[in-house]
Amino acid sequence: KGNETFLDAGCGDGYISIKAIEEYLPEGEVYAIDIYEESIDDLNNYKNENNLENLSTIVADLTKGLPDVKDGSIDVILMLNVFHGFNEDNQSDVINELSRLIKDDGKIAIMDFKPIDMPIGPPMEIRISPNELEEIFNNYNLKKVYLNEEIGAEFGEDKSHYLIMFEKE
C-alpha cells in the first residue's frame, strides 16, 4: 500500500532501508537498526542530505531489545544475512523481540545463506537451513507462511540464499 511500517534489522549500509522508502514506502515509516554506530552514522548522513523524514535510525543490539519501538507497531521486519550471527544463547532474545514488535497480521522475513558449500558467506557451522529456522520459530508461536529457496547467486545447481517468512499464530 505504500504506508506500512518496515523494520530493517541489521541494516548495515542502509541499502535495503533506502530502497524500501524510494520504491515501496513513500508514505510509510522505515526503521533502520544496526549494532554498528558507523553504519548508522553513514545512513544518517544520507537521511539528512535527502531530507528523509520517514526514516528512523537506531543504534541497537537486537538481543537487548528496541525499547524505542512500540509493541505491535511493525508491519514487516526484514533480516537480510543477519540471523546466522546469533547463537543459541541469544536467538530466543531476538525472536521474542521480533515477535513483540510485529503486528498481529505482520510478517517477519528472513533471507540468509543456505548451508551449502560456496565461497561466499559465513562459515558453514553457523549457517541455518530453512527447516531448522522453521523449527526454531515454531517454538515461539510463529508459523512459516512463505519459503523461496531459489534466490541469490548461482553456485553450480543451487542458489546461495533462501527467503522465509513467518507470522504470529
With beta carbons less than 8 A apart as the criterion, state whether 109 and 165 touch: yes
Instruction: Summarize pLDDT for 16-53 with one digit per residue, the tens.
Output: 999 999 999 989 999 999 999 999 999 999 999 999 99
With beta carbons less than 8 A apart as the criterion, state whether 67 and 100 touch: no
Half-sphere exposure of 7 (CA within 13 A, CB side): 32
If one counts every other C-beta atom within 10 angstroms of the C-beta of residue 75, the result is 18
Strand partners, 155: 158
C-alpha cell at 28: 510509510
- Provide the pLDDT for residue 155: 87
Look over the chain and give the mean of its residue pLDDT values, rounded to a whole number. Answer: 96
pLDDT score of 136 more than 90? yes
Q: Note the Cα 62 to chain centre separation in Å.
A: 11
Which pTM value belongs to this model?
0.95
Instruction: Summarize pLDDT for 68-88 with one digit per residue, the tens.
Output: 999 999 999 999 999 999 998
